[in-house]
A and B are shown apart, each in its own frame.
Chain A
C-alpha cells in the first residue's frame, strides 16, 4: 500500500505522492462559455471546469447528483440539439460547448400545509399556471433525473395527488424544467406541494408510532433509560455485549417478549 499515511492532509492543497501529470489517455477540447480549453479525458464537467482554472462559487453543491446546483446546458460541436445535464455526474466529451445555470428565478406559492385539504383542485388553485401546459414535453427532456415531468404536472392538473407525488419523487429541484417551459410553469415547486399533500394527508397512519407517542407522553420509558444513564461503565459494557440483534434473527429465536 502507498505511504500516504505519512502525508498530512492539508486544508489547501494535496501534497500527495502521486503523478499529477496528464494521463496518457489524452485530452478533449471543450468550450466553457465559448472559451476553448483542453482538459484530461475522464473528468466530469465539474472537474474539467475546475481544471481549466475556475473556482465555483455558484453551480456547485453536493458534487454527487443530489442538489441540482450544477445544472449545465451543452451542445456538441456541429450539433444543433441542446443537452441538459448535471456537471458533477457527466463526463466531458470532445467538442462540448457548455454553460451553467446558476440560479432559477422561480415563483413559489406560499401556503401552510396545515390549512390545505388534499382535494382535486388544491394544486391547481395554488399553481393555476399548470392549466397552461401544452403537453410539449420539453420539461421531461430537460430533466437530468429521467423524471416524467410532464406527467406529474398532468397528474397535478387532474388532481391525482398520489401519482404526482410518486412520479416527482426523485426531483432534485435543479430548475431546468422551469427554465425551458413555454408556459413558465415551475414544475419542481408543484411536485413539492403534491408530495407534501400526499405525505401529510394521503399516506398511511402508523399505528405503532401512535402508540409509542402516547407512551412517550406518559413517560413509560423514562425509568428504563435513566437506569442506563446511571449504570456503571462495566455493567453497561456487558449489557451492550449481550444485546440481541434483530437483524440476525436473535429476537425470533427466543420467542420471548421484550428485548
Chain B
C-alpha cells in the first residue's frame, strides 16, 4: 500500500509537539513511547500497519479542539480513530501523524424519549447507545456487525449500515446533528434535535466523509421504539439464481422485511462446522426477518412463504420460538468468525443492483477458479450489499497480493453492473486506488473540493479515500 512520504520536518519536532500536547491534555492522554504507540498501528484491516508518531486520547470537545489547534499550527497530520474496527483501513496511521482517539469520550449527554433522540459523545459504542435506552424499549437502528465494539464516531465517518437497514436506513438516515471540531480547532454545531436545518445539508456530506472534514465529538441520534416482536424464516434453494429471484419477488410483492440475508454454499458449510446452526444442505440459504405483533408477523410470513413456495425451496423453516430464532441467526452472525477459523480472509463490500445477483455470483465463482482462491458469499440481499469473503493464507508469500487482485476484479465487476465499490465499510486505504473505476477525475475533484473547504491544509486523514495521484497537488499545499 503506497502511503505519502512521511514529513521529516514534522517527525524531527516530535518532542516539541509532545510537549505542546501535554500542556492541553492530562499526562495519560498523550502517548508517544515507541512501544506504546504500537497499540494504534492498525485497525481491523490488519494487513497494513504503521505506528503513529503520537496518539492522544482527549476527554472533551474542548480538548479535541486544543489538540487540533496545535496540530494545525504545527502542520501535523491527524488520523481520527473511533474504536479501530474499520475493515477499510480508515484509521490506519502514517508515521508522521497524531492518532486522535475518541474512546474516552463515551458519555450519554441527553436522552429525550418524547422527541425521540439521544445525544452522545462520539466514542460511545454503537451497541451501548441502544443499551442506554433499551430499559424504555427504545433502540438505535443502524447495527453494523461490529456493533459491540465500534464507536459512533466511526459509524458517522463511514456512514455505517447493518443487517436491518433495509427498513431503518443507514447512519445518515438516523443522524440528526453533530458537534464537530474543524482542523483549525473551531467547534461547529451542525443540525440538531429537529428535522430541517437552515442552509446546505452539511450533515449529509460530513456523514461518510471518513474523518477527512473534521472530528465529530458529539452526535444527536434518532432513537426508535422497539417493535413488539420479530421472527425469521430460513429458506434453502437449489441455486443462487432461484434464491435471487425469490428475493426480488418478495420485494415486488410489497413485503418489506426488516432483513434479507443471503449465504451461499461455501459460507453455509463453514458456518455449519463452526456454529452448528442446523442450516440445510442447499446451494443458497436466505434468512428473512419480519417485525411486528404476533398477528402481523404471521400475516407477513404467510405472504413470504407463499412467494417462496413458487421457487420450490429445498427447505423452509419458520422459527417457532425465541431459541429457534436465535439458532437461525446464530449461523449468520458467526459467518465471519467461522471463516476466520478456517483461513485468513478479505471481506469485500461492493453493492450491486439486486437483479444482477445471479450474474455476479457466477462471475465471482469463475474468478475463484482463475485465482485458485476460495470465496464464500454472505450479504444483505435486500439492498444488494455483497460481502464476498476471499480466503487466503497470510503466511504464503504472494497470497495477499493475489487476494487483493481478485478482490479488485470483483469490485470492478460490481461497478460494471451498475453498483459501487463499497456499500457500508468505506473506502479507506483499501479501495482508495480503485476510485477511478467508479468516478471520473472530475467527479473526484468535486469531492476533494469539499475537503479543500473544510481542511485546506489536508491534514485530516489525508491519505485515504482518494488515489494519491489524484490528491497529490492538493496535499502538497
Do A and B truly interact? no
Question: Footprint of A on B, CB under 8 Å?
Answer: none
Chain A interface residues (CB < 8 Å from chain B) = none
